[in-house]
Structure formats: structure tokens, C-alpha cells
């Protein structure tokens, strides 16, 4: 994919700038209710209603997630939606015992992964310059970049899911090695974390745990 040049580039830039201004003018910030839904009042869930998540909703979820920023628009995250009984059985091999029932009960468990060869798609994703030489033959740099930006995309995924009316429950109590063997053997994909997805059964919740105050977690320089 070739990058636009000259007047075409100027036109596209002007359109992009107008679009951002229009979005900001339409909704300068979210109200408290919306922020509660996506973060402040949201919870990690451990129990699930027997209610399916449609393919259409998963497509919408990815489209929103994919809009989030990554360095060089690298988009290294890959999302594997585990929904079948066979897929759940394979994933269960990797889980600590206390997490198996949580995963099995969820309508969808997403494997949040990243592609170590993300950079091969940069001519499409970042057509302005050929940035592949920044990564080719540099496996450590590729891994750090993929993990960092894939984790960002995983966070976008969770916020987007909540914005669409879904509930989420991220999990790290599993073996990345087993997941990679089961789902990504022979490929350049690596797992990061798991995220159960669906409509929660709130009866499993307990009180919300405290968060660090501003003065502890933040400083100025």
C-alpha cells in the first residue's frame, strides 16, 4: 500500500483533523455514568450467566479495540475467542485448578496474544515509511514492542467490552507455555493473558478492594 502524497495527503490530513474536532465538540468528555460503566464502577467478574455472546458483538468489539493507538500503528495483538467445548478443554490444560470453572462457565474466553512478526504488516499499517528495518533481525526488540503494545490493546479490549454492555474477568493464573503449545505451535504468536467475556452473575462478587491514593501512585517531575 503506497502512502498518499501531495494534495491528496493534504486533503486526508485536513479531513482527519476535522473529524477529531467534530468528535471533541460532540462529546467533550464522558459523564460519570459512562465512566462508571467502563472503569470506576466496573468489576472483574468470576461467575457468568448462561447467555451467549453473538459473533456480531465480537466483531464490533474488535473494531473498537483496533482503533486504539499503538506505536507505529503496529497492532501486534491477536485475539483468539475460545467458545467451543473442544477449545475450552484445550485451554483448561493450562489453567490453575481454581480458574477452570470460571473459564468453563464463561461464554467466551479470549486469549490475548501478540504476534512477534507484527512488523511484516507495517507496509500496510504504516505506509508513510518502511519501518521494517527497525525490527528485522532484532528478536528482543520485536518481543518488547509486541508485548508492550499488545498489552495496551488488551486493555483497550476490556474497556471496549464494557462499553458494549459486556462484562470481563481477566486471568493470569495459567501457563503461557502450555497455551502457546496448544494454540500457537509453529507460529509467531505468543500468549499474554486470558480474559473471560460475557454477562456476569453478580452474586459471586465481594467488596471492591482499595486502590492506591494519588499521592502514593503519582508524582511530578
CATH topology of domain 51-203: NADH Oxidase (3.40.109)
| 171, 82 contact by CB (below 8 A) | no
For cell 496474544, name the residue: 113
For cell 477449545, name the residue: 87
For cell 485448578, name the residue: 97
Give CA–CA dist 151/148, Å, rounded: 5
Q: What is the per-residue pLDDT for 63?
A: 98
Mean pLDDT by 10 residues, the chain (221 residues): 80 92 93 96 96 98 98 98 98 97 97 98 94 97 98 98 98 97 98 98 94 98 97
Question: What does the block give as the cell for 112?
Answer: 490475548
Q: What is the per-residue pLDDT for 128?
A: 86
Handedness of CA 208, 176, 199, 66 (dihedral sign): positive
CB neighbours of residue 151 within 10 Å: 16
Q: What is the per-residue pLDDT for 8?
A: 87
Question: What does the block give as the cell for 54?
Answer: 453473538
| 170, 195 contact by CB (below 8 A) | yes
What is the pTM assigned to this prediction? 0.94
| 45, 204 contact by CB (below 8 A) | yes
Q: What is the per-residue pLDDT for 1?
A: 57
Domain boundaries, the chain: 51-203
CB neighbours of residue 92 within 10 Å: 19
Amino acid at each position: 500500500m503506497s502512502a498518499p502524497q501531495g494534495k491528496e495527503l493534504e486533503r486526508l490530513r485536513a479531513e482527519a483533523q476535522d473529524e477529531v474536532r467534530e468528535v471533541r465538540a460532540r462529546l467533550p468528555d464522558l459523564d460519570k455514568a459512562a465512566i462508571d460503566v467502563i472503569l470506576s464502577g466496573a468489576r472483574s467478574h468470576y461467575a457468568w450467566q448462561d447467555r451467549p455472546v453473538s459473533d456480531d458483538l465480537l466483531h464490533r468489539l474488535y473494531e473498537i479495540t483496533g482503533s486504539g493507538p499503538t506505536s507505529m500503528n503496529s497492532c501486534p495483538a491477536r485475539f483468539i475467542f475460545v467458545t467451543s467445548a473442544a477449545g475450552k478443554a484445550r485451554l483448561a490444560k493450562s489453567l490453575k485448578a481454581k480458574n477452570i470453572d470460571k473459564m468453563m462457565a464463561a461464554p467466551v474466553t479470549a486469549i490475548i496474544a501478540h504476534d512477534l512478526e507484527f512488523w511484516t504488516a507495517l507496509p500496510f499499517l504504516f505506509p508513510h515509511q518502511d519501518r521494517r528495518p527497525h525490527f528485522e533481525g532484532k528478536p528482543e526488540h520485536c518481543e518488547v514492542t509486541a508485548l508492550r503494545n499488545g498489552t495496551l490493546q488488551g486493555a483497550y479490549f476490556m474497556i471496549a467490552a464494557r462499553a458494549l454492555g459486556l462484562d470481563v474477568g481477566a486471568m493470569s493464573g495459567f501457563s503461557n507455555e502450555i497455551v502457546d503449545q496448544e494454540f500457537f505451535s509453529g507460529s509467531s504468536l505468543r500468549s499474554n493473558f486470558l480474559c473471560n467475556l460475557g454477562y456476569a452473575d453478580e452474586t459471586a462478587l465481594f467488596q471492591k478492594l482499595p486502590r492506591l491514593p494519588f499521592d502514593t501512585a503519582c508524582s511530578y517531575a
